[in-house]
Amino acid sequence: MFHKIKAVNVIPDYRLSVQFAEGVTKIYDLKPLFDKWPIFTELKNDEELLYAVEVDTGGYGIVWNDDIDLSCDELFENGKTVMNSQDMYMKNIKRISEMETILDNAAKKMDDFEKLIAEYEEYQSEIRKLEAYYTGDEWKDDFALDEEGKLPADLKRGVLSEDGIYDLLERNKGLLERIKISE
């Protein structure tokens, strides 16, 4: 298959930037040719000749003069592909899309978190009620009734566990400090 050449430019260090009709750009290094085919040393020794390169009629190769030329297949197969502008933009588009997703997700998480903080702040009055119950006589009375077996067996009684309430109140203090909410 022929890869027609659209344009060729000399770039530093005896290299060529070759643009193909299908949108691919390849960098072709001329230096290995200096040892392989002696005719190419003329390009090394004559800068004017080096820069006289042009696309051959039909785009099937490049020429410098009647003696020095390269085929489109040689340039395509042995050139190194460089990112074309469309590839570069795809990278940008992918990065922008990724950052946009992070932005959207972060905004949603912050909205959700602010809502939870507001609910948590409002619920502090209930937690203070629990603390007052735990530190007051009512808890002691209820605890005594439970110890005497006077409460129904199927009654949920986690609040009568000293460690349960104490641990929850300590955890609440830690969370309040973490999110800097005053009671």
Instruction: Give the tens place of pLDDT for each residue, 33-70.
Output: 999 999 999 999 999 999 999 999 999 999 999 999 99
Asked if residue 19 lies in contact with residue 7, where contact means CB atoms within 8 angstroms, the answer is yes
Considering the domain architecture, whether residues 173 and 110 belong to the same structural domain is answered as yes
In a domain, 87, yes or no: no
Please determine, for residue 31, whether its predicted confidence score (pLDDT) is greater than 80.
yes
Between CA 159 and CA 152 the distance in angstroms is 15
> Could you count the other beta carbons within 10 Å of the beta carbon of residue 152?
6
Considering the domain architecture, whether residues 108 and 53 belong to the same structural domain is answered as no
Domain interval for residue 38: 5-82
Residue 65 to residues 28, 56, 119, 125, Cα–Cα distance (Å):
18, 10, 81, 91
Residue 37 to residues 28, 71, 90, Cα–Cα distance (Å):
16, 15, 40
Tell me which long-range contacts 86-91 makes (C-beta under 8 A, separation of at least 24).
Answer: 86/23
Considering the domain architecture, whether residues 117 and 174 belong to the same structural domain is answered as yes
pLDDT for 93 equals 66
Number of domains in the chain: 2
In a domain, 143, yes or no: yes
Task: Compute the half-sphere exposure of residue 52: CA atoms within 13 Å on the CB side of its CA.
Answer: 13
Please determine, for residue 135, whether its predicted confidence score (pLDDT) is greater than 80.
yes
Asked if residue 18 lies in contact with residue 75, where contact means CB atoms within 8 angstroms, the answer is yes
Instruction: Give the tens place of pLDDT for each residue, 68-108.
Output: 999 999 999 999 998 766 666 667 767 888 899 999 999 99
Considering the domain architecture, whether residues 56 and 118 belong to the same structural domain is answered as no
